[in-house]
């Protein structure tokens, strides 16, 4: 190797720098919500806390967290309502600026609101999921709906995750199944990432990719064990969701967990707002994108079925024509994120795919 080439490689190696932020304390298990005061004390985050939760999730666990901390901290609360997400985030930021640290208690929307507000006000954030419905529990990204479709924003990765399996197992099974589908979608997200790497030279993180794939594999292999209202299932899925979020934090983007199937899901959210949960739509999308990649699409469909997640647009109250429109509109969502759906899918093919792959 010439001296010039060696110097070039050296420069490349020494120029490289990356900052990954990962959770410090991850506490998962039965009744661990009781350990929140100990976690806060261990991390020495300050004297005042903002607890962000939703209308329903405040009753499910938010009030409990408020009561547990009331003796030792100055506690303020914020309700992440169903209104305009950007407006909610702005208000949450104003509230976070008055507190020493932030705790998000709820589903994906609440946790995203709390983690963006924390990031923008430079506050530490603790993630307390009430459902294993999404892999944003531990990630450093937030997915926020806008008029142009969901955008992926930088967000505060949780310094701690406290996931109480008793709370999570009590949630409707649909939420757990949706979280499983969000993880199973990692398979196709990774294939899209590799495609973009080969075709466009997009940088790839081997570690993030491997962790994301391994997480999907563990869940895929254990699909038979995922049962409604079982704490063991809640434990298995929550661990996978944390691991998938860590993969995103390693990558510094949602790439390891979000490809064409997510663009399809975001397009559906625009075309049929409120129909289906996030993970449900991603799982349905992954059936088609896996087929387009030439992979085991039937395996994806069958594991979703086993877990109890929907496998057709009809399963979430969406008609086939809307699914076709979402497949075609996927390319308009985050066009810089190249996926198999950005390779010239025609309307005729989209219609054929929907007819062929979405049969009960
Ligand atoms: N930041 C990231 O990396 C990621 C973010 N997301 C985002 O997360 C959101 C999806 O999260 P979801 O949790 O599916 O939606 P969500 O936050 O809207 O929650 C769905 C419903 O479940 C209810 N719920 C939560 N816990 C419950 C419990 N224990 N019992 C009964 N009901 C309960 C909520 O009140 C809500 O009505 C989307 O906005 C999505 O974009 C999804 C994946 C990754
Ligand atoms: O949902 C995600 C990973 O599961 C990430 O969300 P985005 O598709 O908005 O990046
Ligand atoms: Zn997702």
| Cα 278 to middle of ligand 3, angstroms | 6
Which atom of ligand 2 is nearest to 134's Cα? Answer: 4
Is the dihedral angle over the CA atoms 41, 44, 48, 53 positive or is it negative? Answer: negative
In the chain the domains, ranked by start, together with CATH numbers, are: 25-170 (3.40.50.1970), 173-357 (1.20.1090.10)
How far is ligand 1, taken at its centre, from the CA of residue 327, in Å? 23
Among the listed residues 322, 315, 263, 267, the one whose alpha carbon sits nearest the alpha carbon of residue 292: 263
The pTM of this model reads: 0.95
Give 115: exposed, middle or buried? Use CB within 10 Å, 0-12, 13-18, 19+: buried
Does the pLDDT of residue 10 top 80, yes or no? no
Q: What is the pLDDT of residues 139-190, one digit of tens each?
A: 999 999 888 888 999 999 999 999 999 999 999 999 999 999 999 999 999 9
- Residue 14: pLDDT above 70? no
pLDDT at residue 12 above 80?
no
Report pLDDT for 92. 98
* Residue ranges of the binding site for Zn(2+): 182, 262, 278
Judged by its nearest atom, the ligand closest to the C-alpha of residue 278 is 1
Compute CA distances 339 → 73, 111, 132, 192, 198, whole Å.
47, 27, 27, 5, 11
Q: Which two tokens stand for residue 254?
A: 């949602």
Q: State the complex-level ipTM.
A: 0.98
Compute the distance from residue 109 Cα to the ligand 1 centre, in Å.
Answer: 5
Give, for ligand 2, the residue of 257, 268, 333 to mutate: max count of ligand atoms closer than 8 Å to Cβ.
Answer: 257
Cα dist from 62 to 21, 67, 107, 230, 274, whole Å: 26, 9, 11, 22, 24
Per-residue confidence (pLDDT) for residue 82, from 0 to 100: 81
The answer to whether the CB of 244 is under 6 A from ligand 1 is no
SS3 category, 102: strand
Q: Is the pLDDT of residue 347 over 90?
A: yes
CA–CA separation, 124 and 308 (whole Å): 36
23 in contact with ligand 2, CB cutoff 6 A: no
- Average pLDDT on 112-123 reads 97
Residue 143 beta carbon below 6 angstroms from any ligand 2 atom: yes
* Nearest Cα residue to atom 4 of ligand 2: 257
Residue closest by Cα to atom 22 of ligand 1: 107
Q: Which two three-digit tokens encode residue 128?
A: 């307390």
């Amino acid at each position: 190797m010439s001296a010039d080439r060696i110097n070039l490689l050296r420069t490349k190696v020494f120029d490289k720098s990356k900052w990954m932020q990962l959770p410090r304390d991850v506490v998962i298990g039965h009744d661990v919500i009781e350990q929140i005061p100990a976690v806060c004390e261990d991390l020495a985050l300050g004297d005042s806390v903002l607890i962000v939760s939703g209308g329903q999730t405040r009753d499910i666990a938010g009030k409990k967290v408020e009561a547990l901390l009331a003796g030792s901290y100055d506690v303020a609360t914020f309700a992440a309502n169903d209104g305009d997400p950007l407006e909610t985030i702005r208000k949450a930021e104003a509230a976070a600026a008055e507190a020493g640290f932030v705790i998000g208690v709820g589903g994906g929307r609440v946790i995203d609101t709390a983690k963006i507000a924390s990031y923008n006000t430079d506050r530490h954030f603790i993630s307390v999921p009430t459902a294993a419905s999404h892999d944003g529990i531990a990630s450093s990204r937030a997915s926020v709906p806008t008029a142009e479709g969901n955008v992926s924003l930088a967000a505060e990765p949780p310094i701690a995750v406290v996931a109480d399996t008793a709370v999570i197992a009590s949630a409707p099974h649909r939420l757990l199944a949706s979280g499983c589908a969000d993880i199973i979608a990692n398979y196709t997200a990774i294939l899209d990432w590799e495609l973009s790497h080969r075709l466009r030279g997009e940088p790839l993180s081997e570690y993030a990719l491997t962790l994301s794939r391994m997480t999907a594999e563990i869940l895929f292999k254990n699909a038979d064990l995922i049962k409604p209202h079982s704490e063991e299932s809640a434990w298995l899925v929550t661990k996978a969701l944390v691991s998938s979020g860590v993969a995103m934090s390693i990558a510094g983007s949602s790439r390891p967990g979000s490809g064409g199937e997510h663009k399809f899901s975001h397009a559906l959210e625009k075309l049929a707002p409120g129909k289906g949960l996030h993970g449900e739509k991603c799982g349905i999308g992954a059936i088609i994108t896996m087929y387009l990649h030439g992979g085991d699409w039937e395996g994806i469909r069958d594991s979703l079925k086993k877990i109890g997640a929907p496998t057709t647009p009809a399963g979430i109250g969406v008609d086939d024509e809307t699914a076709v429109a979402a497949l075609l509109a996927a390319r308009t969502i985050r066009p810089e994120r190249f996926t198999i759906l950005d390779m010239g899918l025609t309307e005729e093919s989209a219609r054929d795919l929907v007819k062929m792959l979405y049969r009960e």
